[in-house]
Amino acid sequence: MQGRFAARKFIHATALNLSRSVHVMPPRHGKMPDMNDASDPLALGQLAGLRVLVVEDRPEDRMLLVDFLTSQDCRVYVAEDGNDGYRKAQLVQPDIILMDVTMPVCDGLAACRLLKADQATRAIPVIFLTAAALPNERVAGLSAGAVDYVAKPFDFEEVRLRLLIHLRVAPASAPVPAPAPAGSVAEDGTSAVAAGASLDGVLFRAARKLLRERLDHTPELITLAQALNTNARRLNQAFRRCAGTTVFEFLREERMREARRLLCETGLDIQAISQAVGYGNRGNFSTAFRERFGMPPTALRQEFDPHA
Domain contains 26: no
Shared domain check, 161 and 57: yes
Residue 96 DSSP code: E
Hey, is 230 helix, strand or coil? coil
Domain contains 21: no
Number of domains in the chain: 3
Domain contains 22: no
Shared domain check, 298 and 283: yes
CATH number of the structural domain spanning residue 63: 3.40.50.2300
Hey, is 120 helix, strand or coil? coil
Shared domain check, 271 and 230: no
Domain contains 70: yes
Shared domain check, 231 and 266: no
Q: Is the pLDDT of residue 93 over 50?
A: yes
| 208-228: pLDDT as tens digits | 999 999 999 999 999 999 999
Shared domain check, 212 and 138: no
Shared domain check, 265 and 239: no
CATH number of the structural domain spanning residue 287: 1.10.10.60
Shared domain check, 129 and 94: yes
pLDDT at 25: 34
Domain contains 188: no
Domain contains 25: no
Domain contains 154: yes
pLDDT at 280: 85
Shared domain check, 211 and 241: yes
Contact call for residues 205 and 243 (beta carbons, < 8 A): no
Shared domain check, 257 and 217: no
SS (H, E, C) 252-307: HHHHHHHHHHHHHHCCCCHHHHHHHCCCCCHHHHHHHHHHHHCCCHHHHHHHHCCC
Half-sphere exposure of 32 (CA within 13 A, CB side): 7
CA atoms of 12 and 15, how far apart (whole Å): 5
Furthest CA-CA distance within the chain: 109
pLDDT at 306: 55
CA atoms of 153 and 155, how far apart (whole Å): 7
| 287-299: pLDDT as tens digits | 999 888 888 999 8
pLDDT at 132: 67
Shared domain check, 89 and 75: yes
Least confident of 20-24, 139-143, 243-247: 20-24
Which domain covers residue 153, as residue numbers? 51-169
Q: Is the pLDDT of residue 135 over 80?
A: no
Domain contains 10: no
Shared domain check, 297 and 205: no
Q: What percent of the chain has pLDDT over 70?
A: 73
| 170-180: pLDDT as tens digits | 544 444 444 44
Contacts of 234 (CB under 8 A, 6+ apart): 203, 225
pLDDT at 167: 78
Burial label for 229, CB within 10 Å (0-12, 13-18, 19+), is: buried
